[in-house]
């Protein structure tokens, strides 16, 4: 027998076999279990045993199967990609979704509590027919010193071979045995100390199965079979339940012969009674007595030690205070959660009618859960539920929130069936989250850009990551990784270590993108700037962040007057000259390998992004590796990016959307980043022509750019025929622009919203539906809680306006070198005014500072006036502005029009329209026509230029 046999399999269970033909590759073990008599040969890969693939003897057929199994189980990256794509076309398995909460599973809990007090450490538990892996996860947590052998039929259903290997293949306390339960088990006689056969006894020949189970179990080891279909009564309303339905007396009679010849007592126990006991609905104890004549149609059938007779069963006790970091909270996804209004609903139509389907088949559970409908969540409960869904365990929740309140809230939510709390490993939690919500998440400690880059480079090695139009080069993911490693080595050799900062100034450049990834790999803080800031502001940013190196394009070095700086490195542009060192000369081009000593955490500071400063001095927003990882994933997943997509980088790395959309989001699914040729200029027509000629499939633009697409559509030689996705962020997107853009180009514009302080995205419209044609929205919350609150921080009713506040694990660390604190009690107060619509979408009304109170106390939302004006004929754009003059607020509406000849008539017409539709208080104090709107490079209005116009006029 091979020396590593005990590391792979539980020797005490399978020592009736020799382990032959073993080999090891990259830490994985492969081989054959050969029965000593030679009648059975079973392929084995790590801790997975393929008894269903065994043949009569060790011939070529078996030897051929092992390499095929190895290949099947090696496709980990493909499997993760499959899991990530699954929610794009969610197909819920209702029973897998429902399993942690229904009466079938909960009926087992009192028995598990009894077993925990009687089973010894290092015992072996046989878990039969675990199609989703859920019970395996539970048993691993409840019996932390025991070995679990889980059986399943084969490569089918919820997980299959690769799924079991992915979720449980590296766990030394688990063996997955693929086998036919109507055939002998390849397990030593009397090797099993406990058997759990959920939903299994009515599926197979009872005598064959029980005979084999009694053989493999130790003397008086408990055998429990939860959720057995009885014919004692028919459920109401009646439906065909399937499988073999026998009366409880038939089961009792069949089990008697086992109890007569051993140390067993046989039991038929009512499933509803056990469920109610565990839910503390009835008494706290239940006497262990058989009841084969129960009027219920679901039961637990069991062979239990004689010593258990007439003992009391008690509810399962989960002591999450003893080891909080080992416990996870699961949300009941059969319920609909409205975090914005802090409500929970039980709706039969939820999950495409799946809830109604399950409730019809589980009337006992329905009777229990009905009380939760319209449950009012507290503010702390909302935070607790949200963070739990993101993978935070109980200990982490206690550290983040108030410890006592967390425990009180958990007990309250448990009593209503809203949550379940169990000792689950991270993988067990993630598996059930995937099954119940179709959402796949990485472990929180793996949510770093360093880990993301390593994984995706291996997955998309030959795909093109960057296509630079300036020098017509294509860089594959493998090529990019080689350069990233070279940059990382150079940084390390220059003594630039973890926590130091590196600055990039200028437009989007391939070397800047690769430098970003090298910084993320090294834990170096990345500070990107556009180079368009005034010299004094740029100087202040450099002083605040104190970069050890500044990388820049040749153009930005000249325009920002940086050439005199000693720590400037110029990117390798083809044109232009620089007195500074070039990037290629700076690189240490040798064979030295980067040390892997740097430990990167999801909570490490990754970037400092400066806000545009349109309303004052720019502030440096500090974002972590985890912030960027999750923001990039959210965009790629929500907007369904693919490996065939070509994202055209309209913006630079200096904004959240620019950095994420260009550098990070493409990596998740192997998309290509197309970098425009800056030598051809940065005007709209020059950029738009490159979008068309280079067959971009995705762009993210502000309304100003999209408006110009419409305005100059006749100058675009080819329509935007290759584009499949147009994302929009920045300013409020008008219905008029949406409609016209769709009419001209046949494309919807999908809006999303988020400040840099929220990692750039917290609401978005779904690409599965056409945008609302009557109201321009910023979509529904994604990966965040969005609430609309009044001045007292109380949630307003749907349809009412208030300030938008955000709760998310993706909020910034804070501002760099700035004392301003917009995050209060965990909520980020955006300063934006919005309202929640009936369908859950958010309408962005304006900024708080863009609200004025008229002398008659009427509140006027000036952006609402601008939106009304922009929807009118002849008005191209409308922007509102509020100025305080002499202690009084004055409201000015700036507009641009398509026919300057009509300016004498359009102003009185607009004033009349506003008065008729909104009221006289909403009419602007001034209405000014401009030749064009003053936008900055980020697509935002330069309000100082509007102020200058007002000062000139007044």
pLDDT in tens, 171-230: 989 999 999 999 889 898 999 999 999 999 989 988 899 999 999 999 889 999 999 999
Q: What is the pLDDT of residues 776-816, one digit of tens each?
A: 899 999 999 999 999 999 999 999 999 999 999 999 999 99
Question: Phi/psi of residue 48, each to 5°?
Answer: -105, 130
Return the pLDDT at 2. 47
Beta bridge partners of residue 329, listed in sequence order: 421
Find the Cα–Cα–Cα–Cα dihedral 424, 45, 150, 133, rounded to 10°: 50
When pLDDT is cut at 50, 70 and 90, the band that residue 391 belongs to is very high
Contact (CB, 8 A) for 439 and 638: no
Distance between CA 435 and CA 417 in Å, rounded? 18
Do 763 and 786 contact (CB within 8 A), yes or no? Answer: yes
CB-CB contact of 462 with 476 (8 Å): yes
Mean pLDDT value of segment 637-666: 94
Residue bearing the bigger pLDDT, 809 or 245: 809
How many other β-carbons are positioned within 10 Å of the β-carbon of residue 705? 20
Rounded to whole angstroms, the Cα distance separating 353 from 337 reads: 16
* CA–CA distances in Å: residue 863 to residues 263, 854, 891: 80, 15, 10
The answer on pLDDT for 310 being more than 70 is: yes
Question: What is the rounded distance in angstroms from the CA atom of residue 535 to the CA atom of residue 508?
Answer: 20
Sheet holding 343-345, edge to edge: 336-338, 343-345, 375-376
Q: Which residue(s) pair with 19 in the sheet?
A: 33
Highest-pLDDT range among 245-249, 533-537, 938-942: 245-249
Whole-angstrom distance, CA of residue 125 vs CA of residue 176: 12
- If pLDDT is split at 50, 70 and 90, which confidence band does 457 have? very high
Q: Is the pLDDT of residue 21 over 70?
A: no
Query: Can you read off the two tokens belonging to residue 841?
Result: 């979408």
pLDDT of 264:
87
Rounded distance between C-alpha atoms, residue 288 and residue 635, angstroms: 54
Q: What is d(CA 746, CA 761) in angstroms, rounded to the nearest whole number? A: 26
| Averaged pLDDT for residues 525-554 | 88
Cα–Cα distance, 131 to 204 (Å, whole number): 15
Torsion of CA 314, 316, 319, 320, to 10 degrees: -160
Q: What is the pLDDT of residue 27?
A: 67
Q: In 3D, which of 216, 175, 157 has the Cα closest to residue 42? A: 175
* 372 pLDDT tier (thresholds 50, 70, 90): very high
pLDDT at residue 1 is higher than 50 = no
Residue 829: the pLDDT is 96
pLDDT of residue 851: 77
As given in the structure block, the two tokens for residue 738 are: 């949406």
pLDDT of residue 734: 83
DSSP-assigned letter for residue 263: S
pLDDT in tens, 95-150: 888 889 988 899 999 999 999 888 899 999 999 999 999 999 999 999 999 999 99
Which pLDDT score is estimated for 248?
Answer: 92
Nearest to 758 by CA among 627, 949, 904: 627
DSSP state of 605: E
pLDDT higher than 80, residue 406: yes
**What pLDDT score was predicted for residue 565?**
66
User: DSSP H helical segments within 651-721, as ranges?
Assistant: 656-659, 665-668, 684-693, 703-711
d(CA 690, CA 688): 5
Q: In this prediction, what percent of the chain has a pLDDT beyond 90? A: 49
Instruction: Compute CA 821 distance to the chain's CA centroid, rounded to the nearest angstrom.
Output: 27
Statement: residue 937 has pLDDT above 70? no
Q: Is the pLDDT of residue 900 over 50?
A: yes
Global pTM reads: 0.89
- Is 167 within 8 Å of 431 (Cβ atoms)? yes
What 8-state DSSP symbol labels residue 754? Answer: -
Predicted confidence band of residue 340 (pLDDT cuts 50, 70, 90): very high
Residues 6+ apart with CB under 8 A from 662: 508, 513, 647, 649, 651, 653, 673, 675
* Residues 284-300, mean pLDDT to the nearest whole number: 90
pLDDT of residue 197: 96
When pLDDT is cut at 50, 70 and 90, the band that residue 338 belongs to is: very high
Which whole number is the average pLDDT over 497-521? 93
Q: Is the dihedral of CA 52, 55, 56, 58 positive or negative?
A: negative
Output the pLDDT for position 537. Answer: 82
pLDDT average, residue stretch 300-312: 91
Nearest to 187 by CA among 160, 214, 223: 214
Peptide bond into 588 cis (omega under 30): no
pLDDT tens profile 655-685:
999 999 999 999 999 999 999 987 776 677 8
- Is the pLDDT at 828 greater than 80? The verdict is yes
Q: Shortest CA distance to 757 belongs to which of 688, 701, 803, 813?
A: 813
Which of 92-96, 365-369, 475-479, 730-734 has the lowest average pLDDT?
Answer: 730-734
User: How confident is the model over 733-752, as pLDDT tens digits?
Assistant: 888 889 889 988 899 999 99
Residue 688 confidence class, pLDDT cut points 50, 70, 90: confident
Tell me the average pLDDT of the chain: 87
| pLDDT of the residue at 577 | 55
């Amino acid at each position: 027998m091979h020396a590593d046999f005990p590391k792979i399999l539980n020797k005490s269970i399978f020592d009736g076999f020799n382990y032959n033909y073993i080999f090891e590759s990259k830490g994985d073990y492969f081989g054959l279990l050969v029965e000593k008599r030679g009648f059975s040969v079973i392929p084995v890969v790590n801790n997975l045993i393929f008894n269903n693939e065994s043949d009569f003897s060790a011939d070529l057929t078996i030897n051929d199967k092992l390499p095929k199994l190895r290949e099947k189980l090696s496709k980990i990256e493909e499997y993760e990609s499959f899991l990530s794509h699954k929610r794009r076309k969610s197909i819920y398995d209702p029973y897998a979704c429902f399993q942690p909460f229904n009466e079938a599973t909960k009926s087992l809990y009192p028995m598990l509590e009894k077993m925990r007090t009687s089973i010894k450490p290092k015992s072996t538990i046989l878990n039969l027919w675990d199609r989703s892996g859920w019970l395996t996860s539970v048993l691993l947590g409840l019996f932390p010193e025991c070995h679990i052998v889980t059986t399943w039929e084969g490569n089918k259903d919820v997980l299959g071979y690769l799924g079991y290997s992915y979720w449980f293949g590296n766990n030394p306390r688990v063996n997955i045995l693929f086998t036919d339960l109507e055939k002998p088990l390849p397990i030593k006689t009397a090797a099993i100390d406990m058997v759990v056969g959920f939903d299994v006894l009515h599926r197979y020949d009872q005598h064959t199965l029980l005979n084999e189970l009694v053989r493999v179990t130790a003397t008086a080891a408990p055998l429990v079979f939860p959720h057995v279909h009885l014919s004692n009564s028919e459920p109401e309303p009646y439906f065909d339940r399937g499988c073999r339905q026998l009366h409880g007396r038939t089961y009792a009679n069949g089990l008697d012969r086992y109890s007569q010849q051993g140390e067993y007592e046989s039991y038929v126990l009512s499933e509803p009674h056990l469920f109610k006991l565990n839910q503390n609905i009835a008494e706290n104890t239940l006497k262990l007595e058989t009841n084969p004549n129960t009027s219920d149609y679901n039961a637990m059938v069991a062979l239990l030690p004689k010593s258990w007779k007439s003992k009391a069963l008690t509810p399962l006790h989960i002591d999450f205070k003893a080891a909080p970091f080992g416990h996870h909270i699961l949300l009941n996804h059969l319920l609909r959660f409205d975090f914005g209004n802090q409500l929970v609903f039980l709706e039969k139509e939820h999950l495409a009618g799946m809830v109604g389907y399950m409730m019809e088949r589980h009337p006992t559970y329905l009777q229990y859960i009905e009380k939760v409908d319209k449950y009012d969540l507290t503010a702390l409960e909302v935070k607790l539920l949200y963070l739990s869904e993101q993978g935070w365990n109980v200990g982490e929740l206690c550290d983040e929130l108030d410890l006592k309140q967390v425990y009180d809230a958990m007990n309250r939510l448990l009593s209503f069936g809203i949550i379940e709390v169990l000792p689950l490993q991270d993988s067990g939690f993630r598996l059930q989250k995937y099954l119940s919500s179709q959402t796949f998440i990485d472990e929180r400690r793996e949510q770093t850009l360093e880990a993301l880059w390593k994984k995706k480079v291996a997955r998309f090695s030959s795909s093109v990551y960057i296509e630079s139009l300036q020098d017509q080069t294509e860089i594959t993911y493998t090529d990019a990784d080689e350069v990233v490693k070279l940059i990382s080595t150079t940084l390390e050799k220059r003594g630039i270590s973890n926590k130091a900062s590196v600055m990039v100034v200028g437009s989007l450049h391939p070397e800047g993108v690769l430098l970003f990834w090298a910084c993320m790999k090294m834990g170096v803080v990345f500070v990107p700037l556009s180079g368009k800031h005034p010299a004094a502001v740029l100087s202040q940013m450099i002083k605040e962040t104190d970069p050890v190196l500044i990388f820049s394009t040749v153009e930005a070095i000249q325009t920002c007057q940086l050439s005199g700086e000693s720590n400037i490195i110029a990117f390798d542009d083809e044109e232009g000259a620089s007195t500074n060192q070039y990037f290629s000369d700076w690189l240490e081009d040798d064979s030295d390998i980067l040390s892997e000593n740097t430990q990167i955490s999801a909570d490490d500071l990754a970037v400092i992004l400066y806000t545009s400063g349109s309303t004052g001095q720019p502030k440096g927003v500090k974002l972590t590796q985890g912030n960027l990882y999750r923001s990039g994933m959210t965009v790629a997943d929500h907007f369904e990016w693919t490996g065939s997509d070509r994202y055209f980088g309209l913006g630079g790395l200096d904004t959240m959307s620019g950095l994420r959309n260009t550098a990070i989001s493409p990596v998740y699914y192997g998309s290509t980043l197309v970098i425009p040729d800056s030598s051809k200029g940065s005007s709209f027509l020059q950029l738009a022509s490159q979008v068309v000629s280079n067959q971009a499939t995705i762009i993210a633009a502000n309304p100003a750019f999209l408006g110009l697409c419409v305005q100059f559509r006749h100058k675009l030689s080819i329509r935007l025929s290759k584009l499949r996705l147009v994302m929009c962020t920045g300013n409020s997107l008008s219905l008029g622009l949406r409609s016209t853009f769709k009419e001209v180009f046949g494309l919807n514009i999908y809006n999303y919203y988020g400040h840099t302080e929220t990692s750039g995205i917290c609401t978005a419209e779904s690409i599965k539906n056409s945008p609302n044609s009557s109201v321009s929205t910023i979509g529904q919350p994604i990966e965040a809680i969005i609430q609309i609150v009044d001045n007292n921080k109380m949630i307003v009713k749907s349809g009412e306006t208030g300030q938008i506040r955000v709760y998310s694990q993706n909020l910034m660390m804070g501002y760099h070198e700035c004392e301003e604190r917009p995050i209060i009690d965990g909520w980020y107060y955006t300063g934006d005014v919005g309202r929640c619509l009936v369908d859950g979408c958010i309408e962005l009304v304006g900024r708080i500072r863009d609200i004025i109170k008229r002398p008659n106390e009427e509140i006027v939302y000036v952006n609402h006036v601008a939106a009304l004006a922009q929807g009118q004929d002849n008005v191209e754009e409308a922007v509102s502005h509020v100025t305080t003059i002499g202690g009084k607020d004055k409201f000015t509406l700036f507009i641009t029009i398509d026919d300057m000849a009509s300016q004498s008539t359009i102003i009185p017409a607009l004033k009349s329209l506003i008065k008729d539709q909104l009221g006289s208080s909403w009419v602007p104090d001034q209405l000014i026509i401009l030749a064009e709107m003053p936008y900055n490079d980020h697509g935002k209005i330069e309000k100082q230029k509007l102020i200058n116009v007002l000062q000139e006029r007044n």
